[in-house]
Amino acid sequence: MMRKLILALFVLTLIACSPLAGKGNPASQPPADGLERATFAGGCFWCMEPPFDKIDGVISTTSGYIGGKEVEPTYKEVAYGRTGHTEAVEIVFDPSVVSYERLLEVFWVNIDPTVQDRQFCDRGSQYRTGIFVHGDEQRASAEASKTKIEETKTFELPVLTPIETAGPFYPAEEYHQDFYEKNPQRYYSYRRGCGRDARLRQLWGDAAGGK
């Protein structure tokens, strides 16, 4: 009980003390010629950047918001579940170096696909998982990937992560970008306290995503 109370206070402190700066950035623009975009929601976007940043062929990762109705939402609005958005990461990648299928593989082992409207210690639809596809080709790959997970998973619970058409993606405020590099102590404290890695190991074993 005490551990849960401390964790709850810590998460509330993150929200209350974050330096909000008005409305979020405008919706992201199409990537440069020859590059493609992938968008995944896996709970806290701080934790979804690192595993993709490690991959050759990934040009950039951007934390932001997707799946809601409000235009240019702020972190505070999203965090309190006011806009319908979920935290997500947008990846710009070079398909001649890394495939979308490879990005899907990395995505799965970095989430808990067995729950709805939450991830690890974070509760609410703003932390729901999702694959937001850009076009029919990505949808086909995402559906094939989900089917493979359902057929080969070692856990008994069903896979609940939806596949949706990507709508506007709004980059989060600058202080959220590359948070794990800017504030490593705070980042790893949050990650450990949230039980993310322990749960990933339970689900995926040695294949579990990196930090």
Q: Choose the catalytic residue: 17, 44, 47, 121.
A: 44
- Local structure of residue 170 (DSSP, 8 states): E
For residues 204 and 208, give the distance between their C-alpha atoms in angstroms, rounded to a whole number: 5
Tokens 């319908």, residue? 84
Those residues whose C-beta lies under 8 Å from the C-beta of residue 138, and which sit 6 or more positions away, are 38, 100
DSSP characters for 35-46? -EEEEEEES-HH
Residue 44 bears catalytic tag: yes
Cβ atoms within 10 Å, residue 90:
23
Q: Which residues are catalytic?
A: 44
